[in-house]
């Protein structure tokens, strides 16, 4: 592989989904396990608790004697978040040194659980968490101000994209990011109180407005994108071209809270904030431009999490654009997950879905994130392994490279058809893939207090192949 001298990053953050997308052009030579010039690193769910180790902490970590890197049942300390970001930076550097272009995706939940219960001003506490995490990314050289890239930030504040002849809509659709492009899309715990957003008053959420302004201040959003994001918490970026292939892709950052039955004030009909209509417009533009698309959100599509009518409309929409959408990325469940998202034959209809495990230990999982190899021309995900925190609390992060997802599932690659078939295979009592997958699912290490009976196994397997109420009911019978 030829050495490239230019280093580019495109970072896209999500707040529950503050979704971070970081594109880095490979700058060196090296050997890798898979013949791919493009890697995606997917991290999610920090749930940083600034009161960790005090009486005001979330969970049971309410005294100063708790380990700095956390214990099961507690949200993440700043030390744990800093450790995860530092390891992320090392992983990105290693991939870049191997000559790869790298996309980093963060799918949300920066804030600890129950921010409304924090002492003092909960909004000020939320801003403190965001600011701390932004500083950690800056120290890890994952922000525009800390990169040494020689490529232009084509849609940043200083870019020549504000031609008076262009409308705001055209500027949003045509500009391209090739430096860190941090884009925020909100999720449940990143609203305070959680799940609270008034669809009838777009642009009037104080924390969302502050977040948009902060992202613009850090250089991750231009003024048009910040304005769009401040309305209802969704926006998009075009990133590229990849130095390895010249491909350009579009990342759609969704506000999945708008589709949740837990949204307050509640809304049960229609298309909240017009997000589905906006998606269709973006996908049409991507198809016309020849862009590949990644969908990035926090709450994954399922009858457990979306209004049924919204879920049906979302699945129908992505089925209609399966030639454009390369993959979907979500968080929220605190577990590594995959979804075949297939049509009736299981092998066509919708792109694959990948859920990242969490950094927080709140749900008794091991802190982890995913590293994927992708096709640099089509964006298709080829392979996935995880990095997780050594359960000995030594502070070391280790790779689970020998147990890649496709190896554990005994499939040749991560195409929709193979994932769909693998999900059905996990339901079989005789299937040898389940327990190795359960280990990945939990973060590379299964804590002693975690078991999985037949009901647990059925629930996990059905999650990979069933999304609508009808599909889930049929899977579990």
Take residue 325 and report the two structure tokens written for it.
Answer: 């959408």
* Mean pLDDT confidence for 274-283: 98
Mind listing the pLDDT tens digit for each residue in 235-249? 988 887 888 888 888
Percent of the chain predicted with pLDDT > 90: 48
How many other C-beta atoms can be found within 10 angstroms of the C-beta atom of residue 124? 9
Alpha-carbon 312 to chain mean position? 22
* Mean pLDDT confidence for 417-439: 85
Residue 137, pLDDT score: 84
Which residue bears the tokens 């970081």? Answer: 22
Residue 178, pLDDT score: 40
Residue 16, pLDDT score: 39
Residue 144, pLDDT score: 58
170 or 281, higher pLDDT: 281
Q: What's the rounded Cα separation, in Å, for the pair 306 and 313?
A: 11
Helix, strand or coil for residue 178? coil
* Mean pLDDT confidence for 295-311: 92
SS (H, E, C) 295-326: EECCCCCCCCCCCHHHHHHHHHHHHHCCCCEE
For residue 459, pLDDT beyond 70:
yes
Take residue 249 and report the two structure tokens written for it.
Answer: 């892709």
Question: Would you state the torsion angle of the CA atoms of residues 140, 144, 145, 148, taken in this order, to the nearest 10 degrees?
Answer: 80
How many other C-beta atoms can be found within 10 angstroms of the C-beta atom of residue 329? 30
Question: Which range (63-67, 137-141, 182-186, 337-341) has the least confidence?
Answer: 182-186
* Mean pLDDT confidence for 420-438: 84
For residue 212, pLDDT beyond 50:
yes
Confidence of residue 343 (pLDDT cuts 50, 70, 90): low
Confidence of residue 342 (pLDDT cuts 50, 70, 90): low
Non-local CB neighbours of 458 within 8 Å, separated by 6+ positions: 427, 475, 476
Residue 385, pLDDT score: 95
Which is nearest to 240 in space by CA: 359, 308, 148, 153? 153
Non-local CB neighbours of 4 within 8 Å, separated by 6+ positions: 25, 26, 27, 28, 99, 243
Confidence of residue 13 (pLDDT cuts 50, 70, 90): very low
Non-local CB neighbours of 76 within 8 Å, separated by 6+ positions: 46, 47, 48, 49, 52, 70, 84, 112, 359, 360, 361, 367
Question: Which range (108-122, 141-155, 258-272) has the least confidence?
Answer: 141-155
Percent of the chain predicted with pLDDT > 70: 79
Question: 249, exposed or middle or buried, with CB in 10 Å at 0-12, 13-18, 19+?
Answer: buried
Q: What's the rounded Cα separation, in Å, for the pair 182 and 127?
A: 16
Take residue 103 and report the two structure tokens written for it.
Answer: 């996309």
For strands 101-107 and 38-43, give the pairing. Answer: parallel
Confidence of residue 255 (pLDDT cuts 50, 70, 90): very high
29 or 381, higher pLDDT: 381
Backbone angles phi, psi at 286, to 5 degrees: -65, -45
Confidence of residue 462 (pLDDT cuts 50, 70, 90): confident
Confidence of residue 8 (pLDDT cuts 50, 70, 90): very low
Mind listing the pLDDT tens digit for each residue in 15-32? 434 445 555 555 433 333
> Mean pLDDT for the chain?
81
For residue 291, pLDDT beyond 80:
yes
For residue 62, pLDDT beyond 70:
yes
How many other C-beta atoms can be found within 10 angstroms of the C-beta atom of residue 108? 36
Question: 63, exposed or middle or buried, with CB in 10 Å at 0-12, 13-18, 19+?
Answer: exposed
Helices 206-217 and 122-139 cross at an angle (nearest 10°) of: 20
Confidence of residue 156 (pLDDT cuts 50, 70, 90): very low
Residue 450, pLDDT score: 65
């Amino acid at each position: 592989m030829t050495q490239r001298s230019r280093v580019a990053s495109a970072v896209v953050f999500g707040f529950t989904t503050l979704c971070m997308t970081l594109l880095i052009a490979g700058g060196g030579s090296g050997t890798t396990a898979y013949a791919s010039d493009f890697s995606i690193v997917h991290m999610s769910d920090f749930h940083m608790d600034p009161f960790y180790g005090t009486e005001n902490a979330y969970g049971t970590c309410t005294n100063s004697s708790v380990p700095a890197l956390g214990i099961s049942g507690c949200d993440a300390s700043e030390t744990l978040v800093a450790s995860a970001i530092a390891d992320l930076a090392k992983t990105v550097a290693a991939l870049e040194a191997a000559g790869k272009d790298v996309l980093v995706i963060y799918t949300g939940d920066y804030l600890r659980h129950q921010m409304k219960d924090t002492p003092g001003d909960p909004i000020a506490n939320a801003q403190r968490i965001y600011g701390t995490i932004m500083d950690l990314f800056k120290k890890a050289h994952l922000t525009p101000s800390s990169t040494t890239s020689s490529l232009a930030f084509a849609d940043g504040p200083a870019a020549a994209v504000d031609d008076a002849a262009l409308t705001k809509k055209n500027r949003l659709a045509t500009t391209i990011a090739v430096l860190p492009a941090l884009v925020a899309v909100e999720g449940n715990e990143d609203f305070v109180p959680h799940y609270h957003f008034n669809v009838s008053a777009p642009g009037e959420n104080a924390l969302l407005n502050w977040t948009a302004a902060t992202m613009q201040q850090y250089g991750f959003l231009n003024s048009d994108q910040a304005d769009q994001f401040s309305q209802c918490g969704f926006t998009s970026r075009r990133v590229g071209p990849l130095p390895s292939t010249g491909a350009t892709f579009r990342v759609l950052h969704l506000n999945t809270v708008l589709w949740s039955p837990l949204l307050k004030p509640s809304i049960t009909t229609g298309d909240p904030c017009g997000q589905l209509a906006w998606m269709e417009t973006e996908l049409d533009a991507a198809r016309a431009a020849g862009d590949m698309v990644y969908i990035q959100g926090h709450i994954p599509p399922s009858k457990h999490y979306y209004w049924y009518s919204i879920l049906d409309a979302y699945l129908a929409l992505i089925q209609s654009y399966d030639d454009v959408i390369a993959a979907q990325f979500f968080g929220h469940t605190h577990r590594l997950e995959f979804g075949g998202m297939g049509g009736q034959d299981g092998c066509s209809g919708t792109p694959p879905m990948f859920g990242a495990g969490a950094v927080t230990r709140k749900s008794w999982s091991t802190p982890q994130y995913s590293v994927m190899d992708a096709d640099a021309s089509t964006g298709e995900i080829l392979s996935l392994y995880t990095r997780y925190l050594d359960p000995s609390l030594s502070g070391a992060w280790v790779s689970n490279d020998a147990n890649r997802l496709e190896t554990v599932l005994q499939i040749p690659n991560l195409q929709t058809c193979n994932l769909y078939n693998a999900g059905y295979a996990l339901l079989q009592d005789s299937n040898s893939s389940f327990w190795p997958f359960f280990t990945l699912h939990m973060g590379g290490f299964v804590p002693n207090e975690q078991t999985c009976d037949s009901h647990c196994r059925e629930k996990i397997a059905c999650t990979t192949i069933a999304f609508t109420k009808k599909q889930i009911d049929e899977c579990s019978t």
